[in-house]
Amino acid sequence: MIPNTPEQVWVGSKEYSWRMDWATNGWLILAAVTSGLGDIMFSHLVREAPVTIQWVVAALPFAFILLWARALSRWIAGMDELHRRITISAVLFAVSATLFVIMLWHRLDKAGLFQAMFPATGGTGARWDIATVGHGALLLTLFYGLGHARFAKRYL
Amino acid sequence: MKSRLRELRASRRWSQAELAEMLGVSRQTVNAIETEKYDPSLPLAFKMARLFQAPIEEIFQDDSH
């Protein structure tokens, strides 16, 4: 049996497999898309809908996130021991760094730092919130890439 | 940990990819073990010992002391 490798989900690599990438990360993409659509729809359409529908629209992305976590753990479980060690380290780093950035950003936003730095946006109602599934997915991807490069350097 | 894996592999004229397939690991893992950047787990070390029909101590030497 050929073990899974991290390169299978790196677009542009020789070993890239869109099938494996979709199987592993498809749920995260769905989560980001449904979350974004939900954010857009909520203020206009969903608020008029019954509470059950509002709950489904709000919670659906998180169901997809749980499915993504399951797909990710299966992908990692199919790796050989060295790649599994590197990838788990990278995933842990990505999750920690993403949580750190989102919590720090939220804190700075609550303290009014961004409004003070960019006063022109205050009256426009611009939001500085990055605690969304889309932003989280982007940050996870970025920090996973950085983490993987850092931990792989030790062994490969 | 010092490893004779490269020497044993070369004696059988196996490529890293061929050895990796026989062991059920990636080629990068074989390379990392040969370049002594990675010490294999016990199950993998035993697999290598069975494949090369040699005791583990003949393939790996502990150089920690």
Using the structure block, give the residue that is written with the tokens 């380290």: A89
Structure letter (DSSP) for residue A4: B
pLDDT at A45 (0 to 100): 75
CB contact set of A12 (below 8 Å; sequence gap of 6+):
none
With 70 as the cut, is the pLDDT of residue A127 above it? Answer: no
- Token output for A37: 């659509």
With 70 as the cut, is the pLDDT of residue A125 above it? Answer: no
User: pTM for the complete prediction?
Assistant: 0.88
Q: What angle do CA A1, B19, A156 make, to 5 degrees?
A: 90
CB contact under 8 A, B41 and A83: no
Contacts 24+ apart (CB under 8 A), A123-126: none
- Give this complex's ipTM: 0.91
Q: Does A77 touch chain B (CB under 8 A)?
A: no
User: Taking CB atoms and an 8 Å cutoff, what residues of chain A touch B41?
Assistant: 81
Looking at chain B, the number of H-run helices and the number of E-run strands are 5, 2
Q: Does B40 touch chain A (CB under 8 A)?
A: yes
Q: Does B31 touch chain A (CB under 8 A)?
A: yes
Residue B4 near residue B35 (C-beta atoms within 8 A): no
Chain A: nearest CA to B29, how far in angstroms? Answer: 6
> CA separation (Å) from A140 to A24, A79, A101, A124, B46?
14, 20, 10, 29, 37
CB contact under 8 A, A155 and B40: no
Q: Does A83 touch chain B (CB under 8 A)?
A: yes
Q: List, for residues A5-21, the tens digit of each pLDDT value.
A: 999 999 999 999 999 99
Nearest to B25 among A3, A155, A156 (CB): A3
Residue A76 near residue A121 (C-beta atoms within 8 A): no
With 60 as the cut, is the pLDDT of residue A107 above it? Answer: yes
User: Taking CB atoms and an 8 Å cutoff, what residues of chain B touch A154?
Assistant: 37
pLDDT at A83 (0 to 100): 97
CB contact under 8 A, A81 and B25: yes
CB contact under 8 A, B41 and A81: yes
Nearest to A155 among B21, B24, B38 (CB): B38
CB contact under 8 A, A83 and B28: yes
pLDDT at A122 (0 to 100): 60
**Looking at residues B6-31, what average pLDDT do you find?**
96
Cα(B36)–Cα(B31) distance, integer angstroms: 8
